Chains A and B, each alone.
Chain A
Amino acid sequence: MLSSFGYVGILAIVALLFPIGAIITFLLANYLLKLRRPNPAKLTTYECGMDPIGDSWIRFNTRYYLFALLFVVFDVEAVLLYPWAVAYRRLGLYAFVEMAIFIGILLIGYLYAWNKKALEWK
């Protein structure tokens, strides 16, 4: 069983080399063909032709945090539901009731979030 994961390890090494190799080829072409001709205007941050105002590393709007929180809750739920789904046909009615209770509790939280307008994007 473990040997089937070995292929994933080898693929991971290839996957790492693939983009790095492509970028190194690109940088090499840049060096060999003398493509790089930097000047101060070219190296400024793009902001529709204006000089950039201030830094762009700013604080986020809180709505991103709200969606991230909701995501974490439901993603953990999904991870829990996968083993449930695999074993479902052997467990039968008991598993169905248990899952209904589990999702029911989450649904209450979901409706609360909806009611509190946490699902609005504004």
Chain B
Amino acid sequence: MSPWDIIYNFFPYIGGLISGALSSVLPGWAVYVIMALIGIIGILGFAITGNLAMVWAERRIIGRMQVRLGPNRVGPFGLLQPIADAIKVLTKEDIVPRKADKLLHFLGPTAFLIPAVLAWAVVPFADGTILTDLNIGILYMLAVSSLSLIGLFLAGWGSNNKYSLLGSMRTIAQVVSYEIPMVLSILGVVAIVGSLSMVDIVKAQNIPFIVLQPLGFIVYLIAATAELNRSPFDTLEAESEIVAGYFTEYSGMKFAIFYIAEYFNLLLVASIVTTLFLGGWRGPFLPPYIWFVIKIFLLFFFFMWLRGTLPRFRIDQLMALAWKFLLPLALLNIFLTGLGILAWQALGF
């Protein structure tokens, strides 16, 4: 292989070398488990690094948008701020209210983070650079990521706090409502590709699907923003009404886990949008995984821009947007895509 090929297929190449070396000394199943663990460590490493980078970038950029400086004391340009935050979070006092349900209070953050990690199994960084290319990839992603609601409700209920309970009920109503347009808006892409596998979806995109599915893209982007509880849809963190929503009674690491999971989900949604609508890892000149990361961070900047620009919705406006606007649009998109494919086939392609 030429050096360029190695750079282009860096991760499959390294993986092949390691598994080749291991299989000469270990039985097949041990190689399988070790390769899986290496892949998981790589993906989690990427997610955690991305997480820290995004926390820093978000605070700096939002600071700029609001005409202030943002964190700039810890290290050059405040670059060490996430590390300082991590140390602070670990050395806080753990407070569990006396009237809280101790078990559920502990399970809340745990159950919230698990699905956010699980969904990374099917994120395609490049051809061959994916933990496992499930044949039901996108369906698995949707199914797993909707499980995080259970964690939200455990946290809200277990805290035995009125604000927590109100916050988690509102959030669940919101997420559940936006899940439907989100799930339906992906159907257009699935119908065009004829497969649920994430790798197949990227390989089918000779032109990015944002061109073929503009309606689906818009519906998905709005619904996903609401699903992430980011502004302008962040009613759960409406401080003026319900303090901090479902994590009012959490402190230290338990509190931080909610934030970690939220940023994991943000990265996930950015990578789903990239995969489904923006051509995934495909792009000229640069290696595929670099393209993938560039697209993810451009989307992340877009989410920050939204947060810096738009005011918060009221909850009734939010529900009306989901049920009376996005749902009909998503159904219309399925209908138009169906007609389009039929017309395409009738023309003999």
Contacts and interface: CB of A to CB of B under 8 A. Distances in A.
A17 B34 CA distance: 17
Interface SS of chain B: helix
17 contacts: A6-B36, A8-B140, A11-B131, A12-B114, A22-B257, A23-B109, A45-B161, A47-B163, A52-B161, A55-B160, A56-B161, A57-B157, A67-B173, A71-B176, A71-B177, A92-B342, A120-B316
Interface string A1-26: 10111111011101110111011011
Interface of A: 1, 3-8, 10-12, 14-16, 18-20, 22-23, 25-27, 29-30, 33, 35-38, 40, 42-48, 52, 55-58, 60, 63-64, 67-68, 70-71, 74-75, 78, 81-82, 85-90, 92-93, 96, 99-100, 103, 107, 110, 114, 119-122
A56 to B, nearest CB: 4
Interface residues of B, number: 82
Given A45-B161, A47-B161, A75 B179 contact: yes
A53 to B, nearest CB: 9
Interface SS of chain A: helix
A71 B322 CA distance: 11
Contacts of A6: 32, 36, 132
A111 B165 CA distance: 31
Given A56-B161, A81-B184, A5 B335 contact: no
A16 B315 CA distance: 33
Nearest to A37: B93
B341 interface: yes
Contacts of A103: 331, 334-335
B297 interface: no
